[in-house]
Structure 1
Amino acid sequence: MEQTEDEGYHKLDHQLCFPLYAASRLVTKCYQPVLDELGLTYPQYLVLMVLWESDAVNLSRLSERLKLQSNTLTPLLKRMEELGLLTRQRSKQDERSIIIALTEKGKSLKSEVPRLQQQLMDIGISKEEAIQLKGLLTKMINYISG
């Protein structure tokens, strides 16, 4: 994506990063009313989504899935543990590994996913466009994260 100064590389409207940033903020804002009702933040919701796939996962796998450093996840997980949504325990097989597991309370919130998804039904693009966009973003994320 090479541009010369005359082509406006310094202009906000010509940046790829700005629409990604703005869309991320606005999509997260769409979820906010339901998340507020549930007492969750968006990052907490993302942690729950990973755990709903497998009930328990080690910290390094969770970090990998969410593209977050473990030192960023630790306070988030601590708060979720205080809320009774998950547990954190050292693995019996490998003391260095921390296993994150859902509690019954954490599992029960899975029933709210359709309500959360309903918040994003009308974002101005078709289902096909949404699938295409997700594919392109996933391709970009995979490339950048190596």
Structure 2
Amino acid sequence: MVNKTSNQAVDERNSWLLLGAWLIAVAATFAALFIGEILGQAPCNLCWFQRVFMFPLAIILGIAAFRLDPAIKFYALPLAGFGMAVAGFHTLLYFGLIEEAITPCARNGPSCSGDPMTILGGLPLPLISLLCFTAIAGLLTLCRPGVSR
């Protein structure tokens, strides 16, 4: 016999975790669109790849939060993981910790360094992206399956 109170606690915890992950993905999506479309800062190639992984998360995590579906982590974690990898690489490039073996930012296109890549008084956009992907992955990892309804 399954303890109903225990399952309700798991469902409530999962709902908060999924809601948190979704809110982070939506905030990151709107921030990227605001920076690109309103502020007019064109994204570099690495920023585009990060968007490719973040934008679908805003949609599928919203659906999962509405349906209270912790199994979404099996679909969303790979997106968050790949996004984390790109954002981590971009962050290392931004801080000059690795050399630019490839040229993610075209010589004539937007640059990955300098003041245009910072917001809120100097926070680098690649680092913020990395933190968002990491937070989403962490919240999804904490989701536990409940009893099917």
Range class of TM-score, shorter chain: 0.3 to 0.5
Bigger Cα Rg? 1
Of structures 1 and 2, the one scoring higher in RCO (CA 8 A, sep 6+) is 2
Higher helix fraction (1 or 2) = 2
Q: Given the two structures, how large is their TM-score scaled by the length of structure 1? A: 0.36
Q: Given the two structures, how large is their TM-score scaled by the length of structure 2? A: 0.35
